[in-house]
Amino acid sequence: MPRFKSFHLGAALMLCAASAASHAQETKIKFQLDWRFEGPSALFLVAKSKGYFEQEKLDVTIDAGNGSGNAVNRVASGSYDMGFADMAALMEFSANNPTAPSKPVAVMMVYNDTPAAVMALKKSGIKSPADLNGKKLGAPVFDAGRRAYPIFAKANGLDVSKATWVSMDPQLRETMLARGDIDAITGFYFTSLLNLNARGVKDEDIVVLSYPNNGVKLYGNAIIASDNLVKQNPEAIKAFLRAFAKASKDVMANPDAAVASIKARDALVDEKLEARRLKLAIASSIATPNARAEGYGQVSAPRLSLMASQVSDAYGTKTRVDPNAVWNASFLPSKADLNVFPK
């Protein structure tokens, strides 16, 4: 009997040691979203809930955010290892902080087409970009569409000086449009459309002038990584992107099921609403013709260079944006792993 007990005690100790060693091998990654837990965040939350990160020996913490600019700053400061942010915000940070010791870099494109759009009510008489001259536009000062409006204006022959801007908190933007306090707004298409719906405005009463459909070839949100992670643990970035690509395929194949991962993080979310938001994001920004042509997660060098030049001009950066300083494709999964779009 003493030998039997000794055997089991030894086996138990070995199992505990093996378990501890397994957890010790996991790399901890703090990830910062650009916004709240909404439809598109399912791309990351599914990778977490289905154990795809864990399979890659990653212990990933995903936090809600409050804007791309903040996501870039937090990754740059080292508070977060990786994040999700608008490419223009990353370019602006890089060009405005040329001597910063640590600058994030984009490692995978997710929104191949920017979700930015100008939106108005049909009763305003606005039907095309040409109708925006002399109108009163509203958006938060940090809104991606507002910051890039000069690019939209130039592409459509508009006089930027003839637009009057009204600033407000994000939660008031669609309310002010619905009330008629402003003529039009800029915002992410799949966010502002559903926010207007929630305020009683029907789809058929809304005019959407999306940037991609009106001559603007900007990229949208990308996954970014800290300088420290790039230098010290490149394999962790590769592992993260493999897990993310696997989750992306699941999400695009079944968006309705994917929103359960959001509900698990925020019990107050409306699953039906977030499923629609996710589908709108996939159709307008993720699985687009441009994305299918360039490949999921990837960018076109000439297009990225054009965007760098446009952002330099529109944002008035301290130095010109260097496209090579903000993009690193060396961590991307294999072509087979990136084959995620539904046929």
- Which tens digit of pLDDT belongs to each residue from 148-173? 999 999 999 999 999 999 999 999 99
Distance CA 140, CA 328 (A): 30
What is the model's pTM? 0.91
Q: pLDDT band for position 343 (50/70/90)?
A: confident
Q: Which two tokens stand for residue 305?
A: 């260079």
* Sign of the CA dihedral running 95, 98, 102, 106: positive
In Å, how far are 86, 88, 277, 320 from 98, measured between CA atoms?
Answer: 19, 16, 37, 10
Res 252: pLDDT: 97
**pLDDT for 79-90, tens place per residue?**
999 999 999 999
Res 6: pLDDT: 47
What residue type is 97 in one-letter code? Answer: N
Mean pLDDT along residues 190-206: 96
Mean pLDDT along residues 52-74: 96
DSSP lists the bridge partners of residue 137 as 165, 184
Q: Phi, psi at residue 140, to the nearest 5°?
A: -60, 155
DSSP lists the bridge partners of residue 257 as none
Place of tokens 């600058």: 103
Cβ neighbourhood burial of 66 (10 Å; 0-12, 13-18, 19+):
middle
> In Å, how far from its chain's centre is CA 263?
19
Largest interatomic CA distance in the chain: 92
